[in-house]
């Protein structure tokens, strides 16, 4: 029997005995099957969940979050401006901008010799959800 199976069997035995192995789980083995099946059927496909998770992860770093906030407030900016705004090295800012682009939260456009960055609609929406503008001091 694998380690996971033993752990599951111990939990089930404790539940049957009326004791919970974990304070965050039910003491009874229960399932609201109609509700569970309805919610399960409404879940997005795994690919969509992975896309959303990647977007959320895109803002999961303080530097990327600061870049996104700067882009929200400045609308468009080049790496040089963003590096100065954040007080960080241009190569570091460039690295994080690539990650924001890969997550679909920012886009870039060449403007002569400069590359300008801005948030995508998804980036703006996610940023608004986690850092609403009215929360500014």
pLDDT at 96: 96
Q: How far apart are CA 52 and CA 58, in angstroms?
A: 10
pLDDT over 50 (residue 2):
no
Q: Tell me 23's DSSP state.
A: T
Which secondary structure element, helix H or strand E, spans residue 115, and what is its range?
A: strand 114-119
Residues 6+ apart with CB under 8 A from 51: 104
pLDDT at 107: 96
pLDDT at 9: 55
Q: Do the bridges between strand 114-119 and strand 106-111 make them parallel or antiparallel, or are there none, so unpaired?
A: antiparallel
Q: Helix (H, G, I), strand (E, B), or coil: what is residue 118?
A: strand
Q: How far apart are CA 97 and CA 102, in angstroms?
A: 9
Give the pair of three-digit tokens for residue 110: 């060449």
The full set of domains in the chain, from first to last, is 3-42 (no CATH), 49-135 (1.10.10.10)
Q: How far apart are CA 20 and CA 8, in angstroms?
A: 12
pLDDT over 90 (residue 68):
yes
Residue 47 banded pLDDT, cuts 50, 70, 90: very high
Where is average pLDDT lowest: 26-40, 43-57, 72-86, 97-111? 26-40
Which secondary structure element, helix H or strand E, spans residue 65, and what is its range?
A: helix 62-74
pLDDT over 60 (residue 39):
yes
Which secondary structure element, helix H or strand E, spans residue 10, and what is its range?
A: helix 3-16
Residue 11 banded pLDDT, cuts 50, 70, 90: low
């Amino acid at each position: 029997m694998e380690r996971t199976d033993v752990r599951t069997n111990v939990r089930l035995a404790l539940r049957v005995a009326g004791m919970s192995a974990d304070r965050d789980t039910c003491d009874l083995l229960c399932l609201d099957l109609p509700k569970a099946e309805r919610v399960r059927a409404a879940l997005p496909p795994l690919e969509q969940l992975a896309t959303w998770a990647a977007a959320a992860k895109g803002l999961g770093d303080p530097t990327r979050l600061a870049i996104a906030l700067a882009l929200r407030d400045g609308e468009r900016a080049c790496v040089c401006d963003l590096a100065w705004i954040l007080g960080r090295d241009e190569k570091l800012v460039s690295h994080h901008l690539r990650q924001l682009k890969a997550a679909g939260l920012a886009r870039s456009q060449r403007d002569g010799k400069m590359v300008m960055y801005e948030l995508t609609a998804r980036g703006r929406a996610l940023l608004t959800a986690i850092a609403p503008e009215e929360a500014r001091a």
